[in-house]
Amino acid sequence: MPSGQPLDLIEVLADETPGEMWARFRFLAPDVARDLGRIDVEIAHQDMEHLCHGFAMDYLARHQIDAARIVISLSDRAVPFGEPDPQATQFFEIYRPEDGHCIWEPY
């Protein structure tokens, strides 16, 4: 990671709920914790962009998944998908895969 923080892949989800295929890559990133963490949202953004280009795009190609959007998330603790956890620190970015690149989609 550009930040040097250690990450663990929690899960990869294929989700068609938004009306098109979204691939969600969820990572455990303890260094984003709001009280003890050293990674802020700007540094996390760099890591998420790196993960999209260096991990998610390869994963999609290897598994022949045609996703309309890629969501990269970093969380300081494992939180079940879709469940709120007010104690958790979580960062999310959305990208559109296009011609082998990740195009950031501000939301």
Q: What is the pLDDT of residues 64-88, one digit of tens each?
A: 999 999 999 999 999 999 899 999 9
* Residue 75 lies inside a defined structural domain of this protein: yes
Question: Which token pair is 96?
Answer: 């559109």
Give 106's pLDDT tier (boundaries 50, 70, 90).
Answer: confident
> Does residue 43 sit within a domain?
yes
Distance (Å, whole) CA 9 – CA 39 = 17
Residue 44 in domain: yes
At 4-51, the pLDDT tens digits run 999 999 999 998 887 899 999 999 999 998 877 788 889 999 999 999
Q: Is residue 86 part of a domain?
A: yes
Tell me, yes or no, whether 2 lies in a domain. Answer: no
CA distance 36 to 55: 27
| Strand 8-15, strand 101-104: pairing | unpaired
Tally of domains in the chain: 1
What does the pLDDT read at residue 91?
Answer: 94
Domain range holding 21?
8-104
